[in-house]
Amino acid sequence: MTTHSASARWPVPAAPPVYDPVLFARAMRDMRLTWRARGVLAELTTGYVPGQGPAMRELASLTRAERGAVAEGREAFAKAVAELRTLGYLAPDGTTATGVGEHLVVNLAPAADARLVQDQGPPDVER
Protein backbone atom coordinates (compact mmCIF):
# COMPACT_ATOMS: atom_id res chain seq x y z
CA MET A 1 0.00 0.00 0.00
CA THR A 2 1.34 3.43 -0.94
CA THR A 3 1.07 6.24 1.54
CA HIS A 4 1.14 9.79 0.37
CA SER A 5 2.14 11.67 3.54
CA ALA A 6 -0.25 14.39 2.48
CA SER A 7 0.63 16.72 5.33
CA ALA A 8 4.32 16.66 4.41
CA ARG A 9 3.74 17.44 0.72
CA TRP A 10 0.88 19.87 1.12
CA PRO A 11 1.66 22.00 4.16
CA VAL A 12 -1.16 23.80 5.88
CA PRO A 13 -0.71 27.54 5.37
CA ALA A 14 0.18 29.57 8.46
CA ALA A 15 -2.82 31.77 7.62
CA PRO A 16 -5.64 31.08 5.17
CA PRO A 17 -4.94 32.34 1.65
CA VAL A 18 -6.43 35.75 0.95
CA TYR A 19 -9.78 35.51 -0.79
CA ASP A 20 -12.65 37.95 -0.68
CA PRO A 21 -14.42 36.95 2.56
CA VAL A 22 -17.83 38.02 1.24
CA LEU A 23 -17.48 35.87 -1.88
CA PHE A 24 -16.25 32.96 0.24
CA ALA A 25 -19.26 33.27 2.56
CA ARG A 26 -21.62 33.45 -0.46
CA ALA A 27 -19.94 30.38 -1.99
CA MET A 28 -20.41 28.44 1.25
CA ARG A 29 -24.13 29.28 1.11
CA ASP A 30 -24.65 28.81 -2.63
CA MET A 31 -27.72 26.59 -2.92
CA ARG A 32 -26.58 25.49 -6.38
CA LEU A 33 -23.88 23.43 -4.65
CA THR A 34 -24.28 20.22 -2.71
CA TRP A 35 -22.89 20.06 0.81
CA ARG A 36 -20.17 17.77 -0.54
CA ALA A 37 -19.09 20.29 -3.18
CA ARG A 38 -19.06 23.07 -0.59
CA GLY A 39 -16.76 20.97 1.58
CA VAL A 40 -14.36 20.35 -1.30
CA LEU A 41 -14.40 24.07 -2.16
CA ALA A 42 -13.76 25.04 1.47
CA GLU A 43 -10.83 22.61 1.62
CA LEU A 44 -9.29 23.89 -1.59
CA THR A 45 -9.91 27.55 -0.69
CA THR A 46 -8.56 27.53 2.85
CA GLY A 47 -6.35 24.47 3.09
CA TYR A 48 -3.62 25.24 0.56
CA VAL A 49 -1.50 28.12 -0.60
CA PRO A 50 -2.56 28.90 -4.20
CA GLY A 51 -0.26 27.09 -6.61
CA GLN A 52 1.10 24.75 -3.91
CA GLY A 53 -1.88 22.48 -3.42
CA PRO A 54 -2.19 18.91 -4.65
CA ALA A 55 -3.39 17.86 -8.07
CA MET A 56 -6.95 16.59 -8.12
CA ARG A 57 -5.76 13.08 -9.00
CA GLU A 58 -3.50 13.16 -5.92
CA LEU A 59 -6.41 14.08 -3.65
CA ALA A 60 -8.64 11.46 -5.27
CA SER A 61 -5.98 8.78 -4.86
CA LEU A 62 -5.51 9.21 -1.12
CA THR A 63 -6.21 5.89 0.55
CA ARG A 64 -9.12 5.42 2.92
CA ALA A 65 -6.59 5.03 5.76
CA GLU A 66 -5.11 8.44 4.91
CA ARG A 67 -8.53 10.09 4.68
CA GLY A 68 -10.06 8.44 7.73
CA ALA A 69 -12.91 6.05 8.35
CA VAL A 70 -15.66 8.51 7.39
CA ALA A 71 -14.07 9.48 4.08
CA GLU A 72 -16.13 9.39 0.93
CA GLY A 73 -14.96 7.53 -2.13
CA ARG A 74 -13.24 8.67 -5.29
CA GLU A 75 -16.48 8.77 -7.24
CA ALA A 76 -18.07 11.13 -4.70
CA PHE A 77 -15.01 13.38 -4.83
CA ALA A 78 -15.04 13.38 -8.64
CA LYS A 79 -18.73 14.35 -8.68
CA ALA A 80 -18.09 17.26 -6.31
CA VAL A 81 -15.17 18.49 -8.41
CA ALA A 82 -17.25 18.21 -11.59
CA GLU A 83 -20.04 20.20 -9.94
CA LEU A 84 -17.59 22.94 -8.94
CA ARG A 85 -16.08 23.01 -12.44
CA THR A 86 -19.51 23.26 -14.06
CA LEU A 87 -20.38 26.37 -12.02
CA GLY A 88 -16.91 27.86 -12.54
CA TYR A 89 -15.63 27.62 -8.97
CA LEU A 90 -12.72 25.45 -10.17
CA ALA A 91 -10.87 25.83 -13.46
CA PRO A 92 -7.86 23.98 -14.92
CA ASP A 93 -4.60 25.85 -14.51
CA GLY A 94 -3.63 25.09 -18.12
CA THR A 95 -0.15 23.76 -17.38
CA THR A 96 -0.32 20.60 -19.44
CA ALA A 97 0.24 20.24 -23.17
CA THR A 98 -3.48 19.63 -23.71
CA GLY A 99 -4.40 22.79 -21.83
CA VAL A 100 -6.25 20.84 -19.16
CA GLY A 101 -4.26 21.18 -15.96
CA GLU A 102 -3.94 18.55 -13.29
CA HIS A 103 -4.26 21.34 -10.76
CA LEU A 104 -7.50 23.24 -10.52
CA VAL A 105 -7.51 26.88 -9.55
CA VAL A 106 -10.15 28.20 -7.14
CA ASN A 107 -12.27 31.03 -8.52
CA LEU A 108 -14.84 32.53 -6.17
CA ALA A 109 -16.29 34.91 -8.78
CA PRO A 110 -19.31 32.62 -9.41
CA ALA A 111 -20.36 33.31 -5.82
CA ALA A 112 -21.50 36.76 -6.96
CA ASP A 113 -24.37 34.91 -8.67
CA ALA A 114 -24.93 32.46 -5.82
CA ARG A 115 -28.46 31.33 -5.15
CA LEU A 116 -28.94 32.12 -1.48
CA VAL A 117 -31.72 31.30 0.95
CA GLN A 118 -33.08 34.68 1.91
CA ASP A 119 -32.69 35.53 5.57
CA GLN A 120 -36.10 36.32 6.95
CA GLY A 121 -35.03 36.90 10.54
CA PRO A 122 -35.15 34.47 13.42
CA PRO A 123 -37.82 31.78 13.28
CA ASP A 124 -40.89 32.25 15.39
CA VAL A 125 -40.73 30.24 18.55
CA GLU A 126 -43.97 28.69 19.70
CA ARG A 127 -44.20 28.05 23.40
- In tens, the pLDDT along 34-43 reads 999 999 999 8
Alpha carbon distances (Å) from 23 to 8, 59, 92, 97, 108: 30, 25, 20, 32, 6
The pLDDT of residue 97 is above 60: yes
How far is CA 7 from its chain centroid?
17
Q: What is the pLDDT of residue 4?
A: 46
The pLDDT of residue 29 is above 80: yes
76 vs 103: which has the higher pLDDT: 76
The pLDDT of residue 92 is above 70: yes
53 vs 89: which has the higher pLDDT: 89
The pLDDT of residue 79 is above 60: yes
Q: What is the pLDDT of residue 125?
A: 60
110 vs 47: which has the higher pLDDT: 110
Q: What is the pLDDT of residue 36?
A: 94
Question: Mean per-residue pLDDT for 59-87?
Answer: 84
Name which of 45, 26, 34, 54 is nearest 110 in CA terms: 26
| Partners of residue 90 on adjacent β-strands | 106
